[in-house]
């Protein structure tokens, strides 16, 4: 019986343990379920929180965008319209010339940004004043306050003026210290913040902007003047845009696309000898002007044009080079042949004589400015030729840094003379140095030329005597000059042929009596040095001058040559150039030839 009870108790204990274990399992399962529910709630809470944050961030971005657009609409409407591609009433400015010129009138990006920042600061500082005008602007008042001069005036710029009125106006417009209230083109927009926009924020243009609604002009910053008369040797006009050349009216017209307040006009002699009235009597005067009206084009060209005159002193070899060929090289060489020459006072014999030069500078036949009633139209034009000192080039002012060495090389190439430099002579028996003597017929003649030739030949020179007559053709004489190592001549245009000498050759200039050294040096000495030649200047003494046969030794011609110069160029020319011949002192001149020979041998 007791055993049975024990078995039942044991069985009950097992059942109780099993029941407790089941209850424990149920509690654990319930606990896990509660934890799972709690974790799910937490995840949903976190997800909801993240979504809320993203939504607020999106709202912040949208708000910033709206504020930015609102600010642009209020303060920079024209910039916004331009960026979105909508049309404006501003006309397109004409193209700007190379090198020259676009940076004169333009404002670079850094300067423009600085100006805009200053304007914004000024606008924010005056926001309270703008708010006072808010109601007037919102009431429907529509645009534009313009400070324009209703008068139309025509100013003709004389060549003697040092500064044009258009330059003074441009200087005033560009003055950073000038009051913004005086700036033309200021306008007020009917917006909530009512910012004032000055002409610094207007798009740049070389022509006035016209309001389509009110028909009024807003004056933009002026383009630079068509012509420059500041150089002492030549006036020159450079234009880009619609240029029309009309020979029968002696006009070169720069056509403005919009109506202009003032007409710009210049009287130009396109020949590089400014201030020489006697010379300009043989040069056609041209009118260069800006205009809204122009004759219809008969011929259009895709290359630039250069307008110049073959009048003046053309035909004198020195002036052919100093007034025409060197300036033409300076002006046209940069175009590499892609340029059209338009010539007034055209002389067919001059064109023929220097045709190799013209063909090397331009690929196109010369247009006669004076012939017919045609209207020649170009997109770029230069009227006049650039010029520095006579028969010289200033590399600092020349396009591409051209020098007289470049010019001499160009001339040798144009006339197909190939010797570029003089080699040192090591053996006189193998090769004699070649000496060219330029002889003359009318004045400044070597009266003892046979004695000069004999002396030079005794010293070992091969001597060539030539009159420098290039009337029949310059090519043949260029070959003779290029074949020589030394050239000797009395001051005169024949020495211009030194341009054909090879580099390191020697030019010996004999200067007549009369205080002419400065003139001789400027005309031929300095150019020779710039071309890479050795230069020797031999000054004639009283005993070597034929003037001794015409005047006593105590005459002012010998005692005070400067007094003759004071009487004027014609008196000086007549006395010292036209009436004088030269008889060289052979012993003195032999020393010059020896020094030159030693230099060639070294």
Band (pLDDT 50/70/90 cuts) for residue 7 is low
Q: CA 406, 408, 414, 416 torsion: positive or negative?
A: negative
Which long-range contacts link 551-560 to residues 24+ away (Cβ below 8 Å)? 557/514, 558/513
In sequence order, what are the residues at sequence separation of 6 or more whose Cβ sits closer than 8 angstroms to the Cβ of residue 185?
A: 146, 147, 198, 199, 202, 209, 218, 219, 220
Three-state secondary-structure class, residue 586: helix
Whether 148 shows a pLDDT value over 90: the answer reads no
Whether 286 shows a pLDDT value over 70: the answer reads yes
* DSSP code for 36: H
When pLDDT is averaged across residues 180-188 and rounded to a whole number, the result is 38
* DSSP code for 521: I
When pLDDT is averaged across residues 364-377 and rounded to a whole number, the result is 95
State the pLDDT at residue 257: 79
Question: Is 576 in contact with 512 (CB distance < 8 Å)?
Answer: yes
When pLDDT is averaged across residues 240-268 and rounded to a whole number, the result is 89
Q: b/e map of 552-576 (b: 16 or more CB within 10 Å)?
A: eeeeebbeebeebbeeeeeebeebb
State which H helix or E strand residue 245 sits in: strand 236-246
Band (pLDDT 50/70/90 cuts) for residue 254 is very high
Band (pLDDT 50/70/90 cuts) for residue 240 is very high
Question: Is 270 in contact with 346 (CB distance < 8 Å)?
Answer: no
Helices (H), 76-164: 77-84, 102-105, 109-125, 127-132, 134-138
Band (pLDDT 50/70/90 cuts) for residue 444 is very high
Whether 393 shows a pLDDT value over 60: the answer reads yes
State which H helix or E strand residue 564 sits in: helix 561-566
State the pLDDT at residue 43: 54
In sequence order, what are the residues at sequence separation of 6 or more whose Cβ sits closer than 8 angstroms to the Cβ of residue 572?
A: 514, 564, 565
State the pLDDT at residue 66: 85
Whether 325 shows a pLDDT value over 50: the answer reads yes
What is d(CA 272, CA 324) in angstroms, rounded to the nearest whole number?
7
236: closest CA among 217, 218, 252? Answer: 252
Task: Identify the top-confidence range among 101-105, 139-143, 285-289.
Answer: 285-289
What rounded mean pLDDT belongs to the chain? 78
Instruction: Scan for tokens 């009235």, then name that residue.
Output: 277
Strand segments, DSSP code E, in 434-566 are 434-438, 462-466, 486-490, 506-511, 534-539
Whether 409 shows a pLDDT value over 80: the answer reads yes
Task: Please classify residue 449 by burial: count the beta carbons closer than 10 Å to its beta carbon, then call 0-12 exposed, 13-18 middle and 19+ buried.
Answer: middle
Three-state secondary-structure class, residue 466: strand
Higher-pLDDT residue of 538, 204: 538
269: closest CA among 282, 253, 255, 256? Answer: 282
φ, ψ of residue 77 in degrees (nearest 5): -65, -40
When pLDDT is averaged across residues 113-119 and rounded to a whole number, the result is 43
β-pairing verdict for 217-218 and 506-511: unpaired
Largest CA distance in the chain: 186
Instruction: Scan for tokens 């324009």, then name that residue.
Output: 148
Q: What's the per-residue H, E or C state across 343-390? A: EECCCHHHHHHCHHHHHHHECCCCEECCCCCCEEEEEEEEECCCCCCC
Whether 5 shows a pLDDT value over 80: the answer reads no
In the structure encoding, which two tokens stand for residue 476, read together? Answer: 């043949």
When pLDDT is averaged across residues 355-381 and rounded to a whole number, the result is 96
In the structure encoding, which two tokens stand for residue 76, read together? Answer: 């920079």
Least confident interval from 80-89, 409-418, 517-526, 563-572? 80-89
Task: Identify the top-confidence range among 97-101, 132-136, 240-244.
Answer: 240-244
Least confident interval from 9-13, 173-177, 464-468, 489-493? 173-177
Strand segments, DSSP code E, in 60-110 are none
When pLDDT is averaged across residues 69-84 and rounded to a whole number, the result is 60
Whether 222 shows a pLDDT value over 90: the answer reads no
Percentage of the chain exceeding pLDDT 90: 56
Higher-pLDDT residue of 128, 446: 446
* C-alpha separations of 90 from 93, 97, 211 in Å: 9, 21, 8
State the pLDDT at residue 289: 94
State the pLDDT at residue 60: 81
What is d(CA 497, CA 484) in angstroms, rounded to the nearest whole number?
12
Question: Is 525 in contact with 509 (CB distance < 8 Å)?
Answer: yes
What is d(CA 301, CA 558) in angstroms, rounded to the nearest whole number?
60
Percentage of the chain exceeding pLDDT 70: 68
392: closest CA among 236, 524, 536, 234? Answer: 524
Alpha carbon 568 to its chain centroid, in Å, reads 38
Q: b/e map of 156-174 (b: 16 or more CB within 10 Å)?
A: ebeeeeeebebbeebeebe
When pLDDT is averaged across residues 499-506 and rounded to a whole number, the result is 96
In the structure encoding, which two tokens stand for residue 32, read together? Answer: 């896990």
What is d(CA 271, CA 284) in angstroms, rounded to the nearest whole number?
9
What is d(CA 516, CA 522) in angstroms, rounded to the nearest whole number?
10
Q: What torsion, rounded to 10 degrees, do the Cα atoms 199, 203, 209, 210 define? A: -100
Whether 24 shows a pLDDT value over 70: the answer reads yes
Angle between the 474-482 and 404-414 helix axes, to the nearest 10 degrees?
Answer: 120
What is d(CA 293, CA 277) in angstroms, rounded to the nearest whole number?
32
What is d(CA 366, CA 343) in angstroms, rounded to the nearest whole number?
7
Whether 253 shows a pLDDT value over 60: the answer reads yes
φ, ψ of residue 403 in degrees (nearest 5): -125, 175
Q: 10 Å Cβ neighbour count for 244? A: 21
State the pLDDT at residue 601: 84
Rg from Cα positions in the chain: 44
Least confident interval from 71-75, 144-148, 334-338? 144-148
Band (pLDDT 50/70/90 cuts) for residue 520 is very high
Band (pLDDT 50/70/90 cuts) for residue 50 is low
Band (pLDDT 50/70/90 cuts) for residue 133 is very low
Whether 178 shows a pLDDT value over 70: the answer reads no
State the pLDDT at residue 181: 39
Least confident interval from 92-96, 335-339, 439-443, 541-545? 92-96
Whether 84 shows a pLDDT value over 70: the answer reads no
187: closest CA among 318, 106, 90? Answer: 90
Strand segments, DSSP code E, in 109-218 are 153-157, 187-188, 196-197, 209-210, 217-218
Whether 598 shows a pLDDT value over 50: the answer reads yes
What is d(CA 484, CA 504) in angstroms, rounded to the nearest whole number?
11
Higher-pLDDT residue of 123, 562: 562
Question: Is 206 in contact with 105 (CB distance < 8 Å)?
Answer: yes
Helices (H), 267-319: 277-280, 317-319
């Amino acid at each position: 019986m007791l055993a049975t009870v024990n078995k039942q108790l044991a069985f009950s204990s097992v059942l109780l343990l099993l029941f407790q274990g089941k209850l424990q399992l149920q509690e654990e399962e319930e606990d896990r379920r509660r934890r799972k529910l709690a974790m799910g709630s937490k995840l949903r809470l976190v997800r909801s929180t993240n979504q809320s944050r993203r939504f607020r961030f999106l709202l912040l971005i949208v708000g910033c965008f709206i504020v930015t657009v609102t600010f642009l609409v209020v303060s920079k409407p024209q910039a916004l319209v331009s960026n979105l591609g909508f049309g404006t009433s501003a006309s397109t400015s004409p193209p700007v010339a190379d090198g020259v010129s676009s940076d004169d009138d333009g404002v670079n990006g850094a300067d423009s940004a600085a100006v805009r920042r200053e304007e914004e600061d000024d606008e924010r500082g005056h926001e309270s004043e703008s708010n006072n005008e808010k109601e007037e602007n919102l009431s429907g008042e529509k645009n534009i306050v313009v400070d324009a001069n209703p008068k139309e005036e025509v100013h003709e710029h004389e060549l003697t003026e040092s500064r044009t009125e258009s330059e003074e106006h441009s200087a005033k417009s560009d003055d950073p210290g000038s009051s913004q209230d005086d700036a033309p083109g200021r306008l007020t927009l009917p917006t909530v913040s009512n910012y004032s926009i000055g002409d610094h924020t207007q798009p740049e243009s070389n022509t006035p902007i016209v309001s389509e609604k009110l028909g009024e002009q807003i004056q933009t910053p002026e383009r630079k003047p068509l012509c420059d008369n500041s150089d002492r040797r030549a006036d020159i006009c450079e234009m880009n845009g619609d240029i029309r050349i009309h020979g029968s009216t002696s006009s070169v017209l720069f056509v403005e696309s919009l109506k202009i307040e003032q007409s710009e006009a210049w009287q130009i002699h396109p020949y590089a000898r400014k201030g020489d009235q006697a010379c300009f009597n043989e040069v056609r005067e041209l009118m260069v002007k800006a205009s809204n009206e122009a004759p219809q084009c008969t011929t259009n060209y895709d290359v630039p044009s250069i307008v110049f005159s073959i009048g003046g002193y053309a035909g004198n070899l020195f002036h052919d080079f100093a007034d025409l060929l060197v300036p033409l090289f300076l002006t046209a060489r940069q175009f590499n042949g892609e340029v059209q020459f338009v010539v007034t006072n055209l002389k067919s014999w001059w064109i023929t004589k220097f045709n190799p030069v013209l063909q090397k500078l331009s690929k196109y036949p010369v247009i006669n400015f004076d012939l017919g009633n045609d209207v020649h139209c170009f997109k770029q034009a230069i009227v006049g030729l650039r010029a520095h000192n006579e028969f010289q080039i200033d590399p600092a002012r020349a396009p591409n840094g051209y020098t007289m060495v470049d010019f001499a090389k160009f001339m040798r190439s144009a006339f197909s003379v190939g010797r570029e430099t003089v080699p040192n002579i090591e053996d006189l028996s193998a090769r004699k140095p070649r000496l060219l003597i330029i002889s003359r017929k009318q004045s400044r003649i070597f009266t003892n030329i046979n004695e000069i030739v004999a002396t030079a030949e005794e010293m070992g020179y091969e001597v060539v005597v030539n009159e420098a007559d290039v009337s029949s053709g310059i090519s043949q004489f260029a070959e003779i000059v290029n074949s020589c190592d030394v050239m000797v001549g009395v001051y005169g245009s024949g020495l211009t042929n030194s341009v054909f000498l090879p580099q390191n050759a020697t030019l010996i200039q004999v200067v007549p009596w009369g205080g002419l050294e400065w003139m001789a040096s400027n005309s031929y000495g300095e150019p020779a040095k710039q071309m890479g030649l050795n230069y020797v200047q031999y000054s004639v003494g009283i005993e070597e001058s034929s003037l001794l046969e015409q005047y006593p030794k105590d005459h002012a011609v010998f005692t005070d040559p400067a007094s003759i110069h004071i009487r004027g160029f014609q008196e000086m020319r007549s006395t010292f150039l036209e009436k004088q011949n030269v008889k060289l002192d052979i012993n003195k001149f032999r020393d010059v030839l020896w020094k030159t020979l030693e230099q060639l041998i070294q």
